[in-house]
Amino acid sequence: MDKKIYIEPIFKKNPVTVLVLGICSSLAVTVKLEPAVVMAISVTIVTGFSSFIISIIRNTIPNRIRIIVQLVVVAMLVILVDQILQAYTYDVSKQLSVFVGLIITNCIIMGRIEAYALGNKPLPSLVDGLANGAGYGLILIVIAFVRELFGSGTLYGFKIIPDAWYIKNGGFYENNGLFILPPMALILVGLIIWVQRSISKDLIEKN
Amino acid sequence: MDTNKNLYTIVYSTIIVVIVAAALAYASEYLKPMQERNKEIEKKQSILKSVNLGLEAATATDKSTYIESEYSKYIKDTTIQNGDKTLDMYICTLDSKDKVFIVPVHGVGLWGPIWGYVAFKSDLNTIYGATFDHKGETPGLGSDINTPWFGGQFKDKQIFKDGQFVSVKVVKGGADKSNPNEVDAISGGTITSKGLEKMLIDSFGEYLDYFKSQLSKAVTTPSDSLTIQADSLAKAPVDSVKQTIKK
């Protein structure tokens, strides 16, 4: 198998920062680290297995209802993930609430199925899906790390900023409310894209 | 085979849908008992939390068993009759043998339902404790109604003011801490806070007649009326003295 399939989506062809897919949910679930991690895992599983299943049946799908068939498969996997989360990790599923259902609308999933799984064998499609999910998850976790630290003063629910630092306790520090709001996530995505393009110059368009 | 024929398309989509539906139905049936139990445990934990019990759930080795045993130890499910309506009420007997009355509250936040449990001391006016939760309020903003600091604010607040029902107001920009009828709203969670305020008014409203009847019983007890008389007697001479000074 070509190494590129699972290396590139992490950095060079990262779905969020290079292909600019899945921006919507990376703004919504990155206020805290824990939901971001669960979301990253869930999306990775759904992208991987939807690509795998679609790739298996790719030669039988009637072209005219191609998108509908893809959606049915993706929706099935998302509902399964949601049900399993509700049964085994109830507290986390409560935090993610609507966003699990919204995995269906994550552009990365349909994007990878259309761009890769429809034209490739099942195993490479599975790896491609998983790697893209991981690339997405990586960005999600980086953004959530920054937002939770500066917006809530915690990481994964643990207090990082000492209580005594806060103004209400006589200190000098105040959590930055902007980090909790979605616009800050967009600014952070922009910063990550900037840093990434400074590192690998070949990503910059010629004209 | 030509995959673009109408008949093929129809048969194909039918088969796909049937397979997916069967898989989902099976998963749903298989996982349902666990989900129902999670919900039941969560409800019991919320009720315990409103009276500051069951706090070791996070560290307990078996959370469900721990919650179940604590619940059966302290809480008794009951209903009260308010007119022709039957309302749920949970009575908690504390270690100090004091009885606390817990009522469920239900309402609407910004994105979906919000709910909670409010525990009253035996005067049915002073709040002993409260806990709230939500289906899908904005994380980090409205979702903070389920944090201990928000629910904790309700401790010792009162829903009656001079015998009138005023509920507990959720005040934006900082509540007066000494006011027994106000708590702080959540900054950035205005609609959730407003929804919560309305939820309290609506839900307490259902219990209001029952509360009032219990309250009037309490006021007419001999000991209470005696103190009221004593108070008015004590005030009377002072007022008349003040008036004579003014003259």
pLDDT 10s digits, B43-76: 898 888 888 887 777 777 777 888 888 888 888 8
**How confident is the model at residue B230, as a pLDDT?**
42
Out of A52-66, B98-112, B146-160, B221-235, which region has the weakest mean confidence (pLDDT)? B221-235
Tell me, letter by letter, the H, E, C secondary structure of A76-142.
HHHHHHHHHHHHHCHHHHHHHCHHHHHHHHCHHHHHHHHHCHHHCCHHHHHHHHHHHHHHHHHHHHH
| B residues 101..160 contacting A (CB < 8 A) | 111-112, 135-136, 139-141, 143
β pairing state of B99-108 and B75-82: unpaired
Q: B120 - beta bridge partners?
A: B101, B127
Give the whole-angstrom CA distance, residue A86 versus residue B31. 9
Q: Tell me: the pLDDT tens digits for B21-49?
A: 999 999 999 999 999 999 898 889 888 88
Rg of chain A's alpha carbons, rounded to an integer? 19
| B229, HSE (Cβ side, Cα atoms, 13 Å) | 7
d(CA B53, CA B45): 8
Maximum distance among all Cα pairs of chain A, rounded to whole angstroms? 68
Helix (H, G, I), strand (E, B) or coil at B119: strand
ipTM: 0.78
CA–CA separation, A140 and A23 (whole Å): 10
Q: Nearest CA to CA, how far is A20 from chain B (Å)?
A: 24
Please give, rounded to a whole number of angstroms, the shortest distance from the CA of A206 to a CA of chain B: 40
The pLDDT score that the predictor gives to residue B219 is 57
In chain B, the N- to C-terminal Cα span, in Å, equals 111
Mean local confidence (pLDDT), A179-186 = 88
Task: Read off the pLDDT of each residue in B198-218 and give the average, rounded to a whole number.
Answer: 83
Q: Sorting pLDDT into bands at 50, 70 and 90, what band is B104? A: very high
Q: What is the mean pLDDT of chain A?
A: 88
Does the beta-carbon distance from A62 to B12 stay under 8 Å?
A: yes
> In whole angstroms, what is the distance from residue B190 CA to residue B179 CA?
20
- The answer to whether A68 contacts chain B (CB < 8 Å) is yes
C-alpha–C-alpha distance, residues B182 and B176, integer Å: 7
Q: Tokens in use for B99?
A: 């009885």
Distant-in-sequence, close-in-space partners of B27: CB < 8 Å, separation ≥ 6:
A79, A80, A83, A84
Quick check: A69 and B28 CB within 8 A? no
Q: Give the pLDDT of residue B237.
A: 45
pTM of the model: 0.72
Cα angle value B151/B154/B159 (rounded, 5°): 140
Assess B187–A contact: CB distance below 8 Å, yes or no. Answer: yes
In chain B, which residues have their Cβ closer than 8 Å to the Cβ of A74? none
CB contact B174 to A (< 8 Å)? no
pLDDT-based confidence at residue B218 (cuts at 50, 70, 90) = low
